[in-house]
Structure formats: structure tokens, C-alpha cells
Amino acid sequence: MKNKALNVINILDVNDLPNMGAGVRGFTYGFTIYRGVLVQWDEDKDERVLTFINELAARVRRQLAIVQEHEGSLGLVWHTSVPSGYEMGEEFEVEGDFWVVQTSNTAKRLRCNRL
């Protein structure tokens, strides 16, 4: 018997991306999938964003779809809902600096049935 949870997948739309910073619609600096989270890089590719992901509780990290850091601001995109404590305006200490959540939204609710 198939697991019904595997029969539906969430689709992230290009418009779900935080797109903070310079560049052509924010796409020119690349992407990484790290611990199940899509990292959208800006021009300085601040790898401390990986520390931010590492320090998230596992239950929170599983909900995070996309993250981008830009000049001390975080853009967060969640799979289904924004967890408490991760709303716009919240601050996090990351390796001695304080980063503020500039955007925190859920991904578009596009779903597709798997074949």
C-alpha cells in the first residue's frame, strides 16, 4: 500500500523566492540545498546562513522551505505556516551578529499529484 503523503508534492514557485539584494531578480548569485532547505545566495554569499539553519530546532527546520540572508536581514519561506517566533521583525543572533526577519511567508499552495 502506498503512503498517501508521498502521492502529493509541494511545488515552490519562482515568485516564492525572497529575492532580497542586488542582481537580476535575485537569481544571479545561485542556490544551494542544505539540510533540506533551499538557500538563495546574495552577492556576498554569507555562509553564516548555514549556521542559522543548523541552529534551528529540527521541527522548525523541516517546515522551512527557503532562506536568504542579505545585509543582516533574513527572508524566510515556509512550507505550510510561519512558526511562532519566526515572524517578520523577530531577531536572531548568528555568530555574534543580530539578524532581523525582513520577510516570513508561506509558499504558494501549489500542489501536484505524483504519477
Question: Average pLDDT for residues 66-72, to the nearest whole number?
Answer: 94
Domain that holds residue 69: 4-113
The answer on pLDDT for 114 being more than 80 is no
Residue 21 has pLDDT above 80, yes or no: no
Domains: count for the chain: 1
Mean pLDDT across the chain, nearest whole number? Answer: 84
> What's the order of all strands across the beta sheet hosting 73-78?
31-34, 37-40, 64-70, 73-78, 97-106, 91-94
pLDDT band at 25 (very low <50, low <70, confident <90, very high): low
Confidence tier at 23 by pLDDT (50, 70, 90): low
In the numeric block, the cell 533574513 is attached to 74
What is the arithmetic mean of pLDDT over 43-64?
96
- What does the block give as the cell for 5? 503523503
Task: Tell me the average pLDDT across 32-60.
Answer: 95
Give me the mean pLDDT over the 66-75 stretch.
94
